[in-house]
């Protein structure tokens, strides 16, 4: 037993760091309080606060019920933080980034210019802008969610070789262009492609399936059952499925925290088609299908 005059025992720094990190993993909102404990705690925890970052025009109060393992930030907050820290901080610590809700062009440009180390990027509810593409191509992206015309814009050139590590590409589009066959199938590491196509005409998926040799899963997101017959040839390719649309940002957030996002669900559906647990000819993923309750839902919808 120690006396008041004796030095108190200290935890090894590695153990102390692990205790603090584990304490905030399930609720990043604790970090602003914990960083006040000591400078070393700030150095450990503050980078965790920005690993998964969602920037929106909305006020932070609108996100009080959103996942606490992600940080939601208004454009105003983001601009203040960009001024308070060196660019190297964001380059080293922001790994997953989402923009949504009609952010202004200057905020997006400044954030992308600083967050050059991001592995995944999502841009939702924003008009295409040719200045974004060079900044997007400069990042070492593995996953990208973006409007099709952000990539295939006549004012800028989409270069497949600029995405050597991109495996997952999520596109929403209202334009059917030759960029599909010319560039997308040339992405060297592409394994998963998701396309939201709301038109009654079909996109050239046959060409994508034939020419993209690395492709493992192709998802066509649809709005209604009437669109399903347009893709009846998916029955002949186990990799190709149709899936009903859902909200963009919540899906991205599920992906970031390890939930059942589009990719997870489609991967499992395709795996079960391969193993014949699901007939290979069935290419429509039911609206509420989940791998954990597949038998019940499949019997309901098929």
Chain segment 258-273, per-residue pLDDT in tens: 778 899 999 999 999 9
Over residues 143-161, the mean pLDDT reads: 78
Inside any domain, residue 25? no
Inside any domain, residue 215? yes
Q: What is the pTM of this model?
A: 0.84
Q: Are 205 and 218 in contact (CB under 8 A)?
A: yes
Question: With bands split at pLDDT 50, 70 and 90, how would you rate the model's confidence at 300?
Answer: very low
More reliable by pLDDT, 94 or 16: 94
Inside any domain, residue 222? yes
- pLDDT 10s digits, 7-18: 455 778 888 888
Q: What is the pLDDT of residue 227?
A: 84
Question: With bands split at pLDDT 50, 70 and 90, how would you rate the model's confidence at 69?
Answer: low
Inside any domain, residue 245? yes
Inside any domain, residue 132? no
The boundaries of the domain holding residue 292 are 148-302
The yes-or-no verdict on residue 6 having pLDDT over 50 is no
Question: With bands split at pLDDT 50, 70 and 90, how would you rate the model's confidence at 274?
Answer: very high
The yes-or-no verdict on residue 41 having pLDDT over 70 is yes
The total number of structural domains that make up the chain: 1
Inside any domain, residue 111? no
């Amino acid at each position: 037993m120690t006396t008041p005059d004796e030095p108190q025992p200290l935890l090894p720094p590695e153990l102390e760091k692990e205790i603090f990190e584990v304490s905030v993993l399930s609720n990043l909102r604790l970090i602003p309080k914990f960083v006040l404990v000591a400078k070393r705690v700030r150095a450990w925890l503050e980078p965790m606060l920005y690993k998964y970052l969602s920037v929106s025009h909305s006020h932070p109060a609108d996100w009080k019920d959103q996942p606490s393992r992600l940080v939601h930030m208004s454009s105003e907050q983001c601009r203040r933080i960009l001024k308070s820290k060196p660019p190297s901080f964001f380059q080293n610590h922001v790994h997953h980034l989402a923009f949504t809700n009609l952010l202004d062009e200057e905020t997006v440009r400044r954030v992308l210019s600083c967050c050059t180390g991001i592995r995944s990027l999502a841009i939702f509810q924003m008009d295409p802008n040719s200045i974004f593409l060079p900044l997007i191509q400069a990042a070492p992206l593995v996953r990208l969610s973006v409007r099709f015309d952000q990539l295939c814009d006549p004012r800028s050139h989409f270069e497949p070789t600029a995405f050597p590590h991109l495996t997952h590409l999520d596109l929403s589009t209202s334009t059917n262009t030759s960029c599909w066959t010319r560039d997308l199938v040339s992405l060297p590491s592409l394994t998963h492609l998701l396309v939201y196509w709301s038109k009654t005409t079909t996109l050239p998926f046959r060409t994508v399936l034939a020419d993209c040799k690395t492709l493992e899963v192709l998802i066509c997101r649809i709005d209604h059952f009437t669109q399903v017959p347009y893709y009846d040839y998916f029955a002949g390719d186990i990799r190709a499925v149709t899936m009903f649309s859902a909200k963009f940002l919540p899906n991205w957030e599920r992906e970031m925290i390890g939930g059942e996002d589009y990719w997870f669900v489609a991967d499992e559906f395709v795996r079960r088609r391969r193993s014949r647990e699901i007939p290979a000819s069935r290419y429509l993923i039911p609206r509420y299908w989940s791998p954990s309750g597949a038998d019940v839902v499949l019997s309901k919808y098929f």
